[in-house]
Amino acid sequence: MGFLQDKKVLITGVASTRSIAWGVAEAMHREGATLAYTYQSDKLKKRVEDVAEQTGSSLVLPLDVQSDEQIAALFGELEQQWGGLDVIVHSIAFAPRSELEGSYIDAVTRGGFATAHDVSVYSLAALAKAARPLMAGRNGAIVTMSYLGAVRTIPNYNVMGVAKASLEANVRYLADSLGPEGTRVNAISAGPIRTLAASGISGFKTMLDESEKRVPLRRNTTIQEVGNAAAFLCSDLASGITGDVLYVDSGYHILGM
Ligand code: NAD
Ligand code: 0WE
C-alpha cells in the first residue's frame, strides 16, 4: 500500500510531460493517490487529458488562476465529485517575458510586477482559501514550487525572484492560518530543470551545464526527485512539517564560492 493511499489530490501546472507537476503526479499516483488535474487554457486541455489518463484520472478541469470565477467553479466541481480534498499541488508561475532579461531595475514595470505576483503568488492563497472548507480537518497538505531566486539574486530571474520571496512568505502565513484545521503548507525549492517555463531563457543551458559540474551530487535535479519529495511532504509521513521550504536541488544552495 502506498503512503498516499486514499488521498484525493488536485494537480495544477501540468503543461507537458516535462512539467514539474507531472513528476509530482506520477509519484503521487505511484503512492496510491487519486488525482484531478487542471489546465490553463483550451490549448492545453487535450494534452492534460492525455497525461491524466496515464495516472488513471479522467477528472480534468479548467483553471486560469487570474479568474475568481474559474477558481470557484473548480472547487464546486471537486466538492460534487469528491466531497472533500486532501492535497493541492501548486506548480504555477508566470511573468511577462520582457521582465526576465537584463538588469532587474531596467526590466521591472508596475504591470509586470503585478502580473508576476498575481499569477505566481496570490494564486496560492486564492486556491487555499477556496479549498479551505473541502480540506479542513482531514490532515490536508498544500505544496508549491519555489526557486533559489527567492533568497539570492540570480541573473535575469528578476521580478520572479521577488515573487518567489513573496511565495515563500505566503507559505508561512498560510501554514499559520491553516494549521489549526490540520492543513500543512510547504514549498519545495527546486534546482533548475528544463521545462517549458525554462525554455528560451537566455543562459539557461549554461546554468544547467555549470551547476552539474559544481553541485554536491554532480547532476541536475529531475522532476522525479521533486515529485518524490512533494509526495513525502503531502503525506502523513511529514505530519510534523509545515511552513517550510525544502531544497531539492542536488545541494546547490549550500555552496559558497
Ligand atoms: P511548466 O511550464 O511546465 O509549468 C508552469 C505551469 O504554470 C504551466 O502548466 C502553465 O500552464 C501554468 N500557468 C501559468 N500561468 C497560469 C495561469 N494564469 N493559470 C493557471 N496556470 C498557469 O514549468 P515548470 O518548470 O514545471 O514550472 C512549475 C513551477 O516550478 C513554477 O512555479 C516554477 O516557478 C517552479 N520552478 C521551476 C524550476 C525550473 O527550473 N523549471 C525551478 C524551480 C521552481
Ligand atoms: O520559475 C521559473 C520560471 C518561471 C517563468 C518562466 C517564464 C518563461 C516564459 C515565469 N514566467 C515566464 N514567462 C514567459 O513568458 N524558473 C525557476 C525557471 C527559470 O527561469 C529563469 C531562470 C530559471 C532557473 C529565468 C532567468 C534565470 C533563471
- Measured CA to CA, the distance from residue 62 to residue 45 in angstroms comes to 8
Residues 187-196: what's their mean pLDDT? 98
In this prediction, what percent of the chain has a pLDDT beyond 90?
A: 98
Cα–Cα distance list, 252 to 191, 243, 257 (Å): 7, 21, 11
Ligand number, closest to the Cα atom of 191: 1
Ligand number, closest to the Cα atom of 195: 1
The response to whether residue 192 sits with its C-beta less than 6 Å from ligand 1 reads yes
Q: Which three cell numbers stand for residue 184?
A: 500543512
DSSP H or E stretch at residue 71? helix 68-82
The helix/strand/coil state of 90 is strand
Residue with the smallest CA separation from ligand 2 atom 25 is 157
- Measured CA to CA, the distance from residue 193 to residue 207 in angstroms comes to 10
- Measured CA to CA, the distance from residue 89 to residue 141 in angstroms comes to 9
pLDDT in tens, 121-162: 999 999 999 999 999 999 999 999 999 999 999 999 999 999
Residues 245-255: what's their mean pLDDT? 98
Residue among 144, 160, 167, 220 whose CB has most ligand 2 atoms within 8 A, to mutate: 160
For the annotated catalytic residues, the residue numbers are: 147, 157
Residue-level pLDDT at 86: 99
